[in-house]
Amino acid sequence: MDRARKRKLGNRYLTIIPLLALGLVSCKDKEKPVVEQKEIAIVEPKEHIEFGFNFNDYVVKRDTVKSGESFGQILERNKIGYPQIFHIAETAKETYDIARYLQKGRPYTLLCSKDSLEIPEKFIYQPSVEEYIVVSFKDSIHAYKSKKPIKYVEKVYTGVINSNISQTLDDDGLSLVLAYKMSDIYAWTIDFTRLQKGDRFKVIYTDKYIDDTIYAGINRIKAAYFEHNSEPFYAFRFKTDSVKGLTDFYNEEAKTLRRAFLKAPVEYKRISSRYNLNRRIALYGNKVRPHKGTDFAANIGTPIVATASGKVTKSSYTGGNGNYVKIRHNKVYETQYLHMQKRKVKAGDYVKQGDVIGWVGMTGNTSGPHVCYRFWKNGVQVDPFRQKLPEAEPIADSLKDKYLEFIKPIKYQLDNTNFKPQKLEEDELKQPEIRQATS
């Protein structure tokens, strides 16, 4: 997915891994001088601190928990006798019951004495990339749980669309998550499936790093600027409720980017069929068979939600629709959801936007699991993606001035970021890689 990112990270790891490998090699073959040592010492400083320990003080052994392997077995294999293992496990239990939580495939590190005996002194287990548990048994036995330091790094990226946004990001080795996040923010303002060649964007986002070195993905988007058909669209993330931790995106005039309806009633894999009055189907002799709904393909059992608040007017079954639900939102708008596996609401119920009303299935006349989503305006089925729909709730009046003040420096930063020519940027990225590989 993001090869260039892996390549870049690969290089960053390169500077660390040889050091670790060296640590192991130098302990086992003490007599043999390690030839590359001098060369690598230039790349990385002498100290290697991890989990709060200086790894140079130990013989470091890393492995992963094998299927069915216990804490005791790992220690036993590493020269700790059974009575002591029992004692360690029992004492450590008081702070953290490590014996119970070892999971197959998770990494652990043994820090052993730097002598010919290589007796384990610390056992460090990583239940997740961020957390680790230390069981120390050199002088006194104790255990504790800790977290690796997490660092957020703010980045700015500019891109120009050639064919589609995924391609633009991929060419620069950036995660597609950035595309998903942006298409979410602009769900109602820009159709990302119909971007134009020459459309361009700037985005300020944060990357997450664990222990300074491990890239843990894109954290979130802070602000974005998208030029679609030469029209500018700003988006700024803003906390609207610090108690509940609610955030939303608004434009440079504090207007919401969302509409009163959710874009889709389900987390879908793809839109398998759009609203199309001129649809022709081969199966029916290429006759015009208008499709007045939007089909969202998703796995069976995926929750279906109400795209806006309203009153359930129908919850029943017909041969064509299968299990379906219809909701009236106000005098003008109604929505309908077809082919459900199971319905969760009944006629007369009030539902709020985002409430689960049923689950994806393939009941009725359908060839695969999807939701056929139908949108009614004044009693006529229309394409919701081609409607000027009412806006979602605007920002509270009391927050508007605060918001406009908040975005000033961010907007300044966006406006003063120039679009980089793509080719040049690629060359810049490649140069240091070549130099490192041959050093």
Which residues here bind Zn ion, judged by CB under 5 A? Answer: 293, 295, 372
Closer to Zn ion by Cβ: residue 351 or 372: 372
Residue nearest to Zn ion (CB): 372
Distance between CA atoms of residues 292 and 278, nearest Å: 10
Tokens 């803003």 correspond to: 238
The nearest distance, CB 287 to Zn ion, in angstroms, is 17
The nearest distance, CB 262 to Zn ion, in angstroms, is 18
Contact 388, 335 (CB under 8 A): no
Closer to Zn ion by Cβ: residue 110 or 306: 306
Q: C-alpha distances in angstroms, 152 versus 78, 149, 220? A: 38, 10, 10
Q: C-alpha distances in angstroms, 99 versus 104, 106, 135? A: 12, 13, 11
Closer to Zn ion by Cβ: residue 255 or 386: 386
Q: Which of 153, 161, 219, 220 is nearest to 190 (CA)?
A: 161
Exposure pattern of 109-137 as b/e (b: 16+ CB <10 Å)? bbbbeeeeebebbbbbbbeeebebbbbbb
Closer to Zn ion by Cβ: residue 381 or 413: 381
Distance between CA atoms of residues 129 and 150, nearest Å: 11
The nearest distance, CB 273 to Zn ion, in angstroms, is 6
The nearest distance, CB 193 to Zn ion, in angstroms, is 18
Closer to Zn ion by Cβ: residue 213 or 366: 366
Closer to Zn ion by Cβ: residue 235 or 338: 338
Contact 379, 326 (CB under 8 A): no
Six token digits for residue 303: 């929750």
Six token digits for residue 415: 């406006």
Tokens 């279906």 correspond to: 304
Distance between CA atoms of residues 96 and 102, nearest Å: 11
3-state secondary structure of 174: coil
Closer to Zn ion by Cβ: residue 293 or 369: 293
